[in-house]
Structure 1
Amino acid sequence: MEPVEIIKKKSCFNLYQFKEIIQYFYNKTDYEVFSMINKRCGQVLLLFEENPIPYTEDMKVIFPNICIQHLYHYEEEHVFGMKKYIYHFEVSYSYYHDVHGERIKFKRVVFNRLDRIRYGGQIPEGITDIGYKAFNGSDIQVVIIPDTVTSINNNAFENCNNLKTVYFSKNLLSIGAEAFLDCVSLKEINKPTALQFIGYHCFHGCIKLKELPKEIKRSN
């Protein structure tokens, strides 16, 4: 209990510094114990306007000033009355399209096969991931990846026989395995400057693609 004694006697940390430290606590119990140390520790918890851990209605006693709720899993409780909700788990573009607004933000939005059927072949802004087989077998000819996209998943554009040109996002970090497998008409792609990962057989069977940017190595 040494940390308790240090806080009781004298601390070199101000309230905001304590807030930065305890935001890494693991669970509700950690914060409950901290709040009972002394009055000053309770004042630290009053500074939180965004939940540092999954938040439920009964936690208003610990964090009475939370007004922005971060949600990390589908099953988390949606607490009524927040000024803003920020979703960190993956959602489809259809869901994002229907509910997003000033008070509701999404960190991961996937454009999947059903989204493509519903909204067409143009990839909209706000998407962060192109889903597994999202465009598989479609007749799309040109793909323009918005700058919000950071990931293209496995087989996303497999067997797009009419696809000729792909303009990658400047923020694209990864291209999954066989993402452009057997795109036999593909002959032009730009340099993905931020790319960190490329999957196995990504451009295998792209017989018209004579040269790849040096950032991309053809896998066999």
Structure 2
Amino acid sequence: MKLGYNEIMITSMYFNDINDFINLEIGVKRFQGNIERFHFNPIPLNEYSRKLFTNIETFHIYNKKDKIFNDGKIFKKVIWYTVDYSTYLKEKEKWDVYKNIRYTQLDRMKYGEVIPPEVTSIGCQCFDWCIALTRIDIPSRTKELSSNCFSGCKSLKSITIPSTISTIGSDCFYWCTSLTSINNQNIQFISKERIFVNEPVLVSIETPKNIQIINGKNIEKKSINEFIIPSSITKLGEYCFSGCSTLTSITIPSSINEIEDVCFSRCYSLISINMLSPVSEIEDYCFSGCYSLTSLTIPSSINKLGRYCFSGCESLQSINIPSSVSELGEYCFDRCLSLTSIIIPTPISKIGYKCFSGCSLLTSINIPSSITAFGTACFYKCGCEEMLKQNKTIPENCFQPY
């Protein structure tokens, strides 16, 4: 298939910086003039790159610190970074378009408990302990429910979670003791611990203690171990399986391309993980506190192990780190009390703060010459501490608490 002008414009919208655009026009003669065809900026601009995008009429602002241009050809701005609802109301008369509007606790106190239709996210503790609140309507544009946003709403009886929601923070409905009914047209699974909803991003909430009805029907709470992640799911959201204390095994299918923070944290009974997915990172706190996990094979697609990702996995005895990994995050294997040996592959250049701290049985570890950065306390109270002190390339603060 031969790419035309329209196709290459669509493709170049995903370029990272101005050099990608320039290299395209230098490398492929028939795509010369591609930059001039844009009537908006697909990337943040500076003084130099603004001169190359000569026909911009709509200016996109992606980050708060982006350079803003107000020359004669620009007649509209599109703001992508998150603003609170109060800021949006002040600025919308300028004909600017705001893509991400958060309803905060201060907004709620000022404008009331009816969430405006423009809102795309509900902020942390927005409705925290609104004990008189009996029902809430979440707008269809809303994509995120932040941590504790409805916690303590003791009178809340019913809520509809729209299919647009792709992020649900921790303790979102904590202490909603009157919540008996939930509506969602994309229910995936109902367990005793969590209710899983939506696709292609799978998100969940802790199963309310007194929940009785979902989508107008009496519910049956099943064992979490019966849940098979559907192939329609491409992403596991934050806290998705967090706190599923009876989960013993899980298969992550090949359809999954991203696993977000804290996804399997505190799955105390989790013994077996079969990772078939081509994810590139194991995110922060992903498997932290999985006390029963004894071993894990990390796929070769992984290039980074995030902060605290296996922290507190007290039964973890062995783990393979593939050569694709280049960085071990802070507290990565902190307090892995049963870990006896580990092989660090050559591409790794950094060991994070307290990475192996408290691994008291770890007696076999290699330190490749590729490592140029050692985090403080990375080997503090580690079983191989005395042996590693003989390696003069390792700084002394690696063995100190802070």
Q: Same fold (TM over 0.5)?
A: yes
Q: Which residue of 2 aligns with 1:173?
A: 166
Q: Which residue of 2 aligns with 1:210?
A: 212
Q: Which residue of 1 aligns with 2:86?
A: 94
Q: Which residue of 2 aligns with 1:7?
A: none
Question: How far apart, CA to CA, are the structure 2 residues paired with 1:84 and 1:203?
Answer: 45
The SS at the match of 2:81 is: strand
Q: Which residue of 1 aligns with 2:255?
A: none
What are structure 2's unaligned runs of at least 5 residues? 187-196, 225-243, 246-402
Q: Which residue of 2 aligns with 1:140?
A: 133
* RMSD (Å) for aligned C-alpha atoms: 3.0
Q: Which moved more, 1:17-26 or 1:52-61?
A: 17-26
Count of paired positions: 205
Give the AA of the match of 1:45: I
1:142-193 per-residue CA deviation (whole Å, 9 max, x = no partner) reads 1111111122122110011121221332433343221111111222221242
Residue among 27, 46, 54 paired with 2:17: 27
1:80-122 per-residue CA deviation (whole Å, 9 max, x = no partner) reads 1422211222111111122125831122211111111111111
Give the AA of the match of 1:142: R
The 8 Å contact of residues 140 and 162 in structure 1, kept in 2 or not, is answered as yes
The 8 Å contact of residues 112 and 132 in structure 1, kept in 2 or not, is answered as yes
The 8 Å contact of residues 45 and 63 in structure 1, kept in 2 or not, is answered as yes
Higher helix share: 1
Q: Which residue of 1 aligns with 2:43?
A: 53
Give the AA of the match of 2:212: K
Q: Which residue of 1 aligns with 2:66?
A: 76
1:103 to 2:103 alignment: no
1:155 to 2:148 alignment: yes
Question: How far apart, CA to CA, are the structure 2 residues paired with 1:61 and 1:106?
Answer: 25
Deviation, 1:211, is 4.2
Deviation, 1:127, is 0.7
Using the aligned pairs only, state the percent identity. 24
Question: How far apart, CA to CA, are the structure 2 residues paired with 1:54 and 1:216?
Answer: 48
C-alpha spacing 1:70/1:159, structure 2 compared with 1 (3 Å) = same
1:107-142 per-residue CA deviation (whole Å, 9 max, x = no partner) reads 221111111111111111011111111101113121
Q: Which residue of 1 aligns with 2:241?
A: none
Q: Which residue of 2 aligns with 1:3?
A: none
The SS at the match of 1:96 is: helix
Q: Which residue of 2 aligns with 1:5?
A: none
TM-score by length of 1: 0.78
Give the AA of the match of 2:181: E
Give the AA of the match of 1:68: T
Q: Which residue of 1 aligns with 2:107?
A: 115
TM-score by length of 2: 0.45
Question: How far apart, CA to CA, are the structure 2 residues paired with 1:216 and 1:71?
Answer: 46
Deviation, 1:215, is 11
Q: Which moved more, 1:94-103 or 1:83-92?
A: 94-103
The SS at the match of 2:101 is: strand
Deviation, 1:49, is 0.8
The SS at the match of 1:110 is: strand
Deviation, 1:16, is 3.7
